[in-house]
Amino acid sequence: MEYFKAEESLVKHGYVILNFSNTENLYKIQKIINSVFPITPTYLQNKNIKDDEYLFYVKTAKDKIVASGLVKGILLENIDFFTRLLGPDIDFQSNLHLRVSRPYIEQDFIDWHRDTFNGNTFWEINIWFPVFPLEKGAGLNIIKNSHILPSQNIQYVNEKNEFRSKITKGSVASTLGYLYAIKTDDVISQLNPDQEELLTPQLGQFILFFGYLAHRAQNFSSLTRISVDLRLKSMFAPTNTKHDYYQPLTRGAVATYIQKITKINEYVGDS
């Protein structure tokens, strides 16, 4: 897809599905995940494991993926389009989310939400991609056109799922991307099924979407859905996230110079 058409689709629909330039790093990520789980990861639903075991496997695999730098490498391989959107000075969420969602097991999913409920702003954009091929019925579910619908009557809701209701701030589950303060708005609470659209990119593709677009996980297939998601923003864009949530991905010549001369002046001032 040409860049202009991709940008046009992103603005119109709130998302666009694009191809990675190559899949070498994806297969390396697969190997990391395979090395951690006690069974072929996409068949995890066939193994009876306790909740704490499940969280341990996901966290261990996620930490290894982060340490490998493979996802950062994927982003840099596809940097041309990202710089068109965000400029040359881009930050990325280095502590990415690894989602391991067994079929029909609601506790593995993140329910309907907008990222703006939880500290992110309109300026931040999401990347979501499968690590293993998706079957029919699995992917990322969105509410069509919700990226241009007002978010009214935002309020906390009681979590009905037993596992998710016990998640607290700072817990292992919350560090893996599970929400501990569930919110909704009129767009979500008044949702009709015909407003939903399931996005199922192929292996080697990714979804780029606005975090304001209402979305949730879905897996009504026969295999465990395994995906990665993270966020990008301009280094100058506002965010309400923690100070170390974002790390530098790229810096243009001006930003690089300013950082260099700032350090020089700080050194001179301290001497």
- Tokens 């629909």 locate to 13
Instruction: Place 269 in a pLDDT band, splitting at 50, 70 and 90.
Output: low
**Residue 261 CB neighbours (<10 A):** 10
Cα separation, 136 vs 133, whole angstroms: 10
Cα separation, 109 vs 102, whole angstroms: 9
- The pTM assigned to this predicted structure is 0.93
Cα separation, 82 vs 126, whole angstroms: 11
Of 28, 43, 30, the closest CA to residue 132 belongs to: 30
Average pLDDT, the chain: 95
Quote the pLDDT of residue 93.
97
Burial 184-208, CB ≥16 within 10 A → b, else e: bbebbeeeeeeeeeebbbeeebbbb
Quote the pLDDT of residue 175.
92
Token representation of residue 122: 């309109």
Quote the pLDDT of residue 149.
97
Per-residue pLDDT reduced to its tens digit, 202-251: 999 999 999 999 999 999 999 999 999 999 999 999 999 988 999 999 99
User: What residue ranges define each of the domains in the chain, with the CATH number in brackets?
Assistant: 3-270 (2.60.120.620)
Per-residue pLDDT reduced to its tens digit, 155-193: 999 998 999 998 999 899 999 999 888 999 999 999 999
The answer to whether residue 271 scores a pLDDT higher than 60 is no
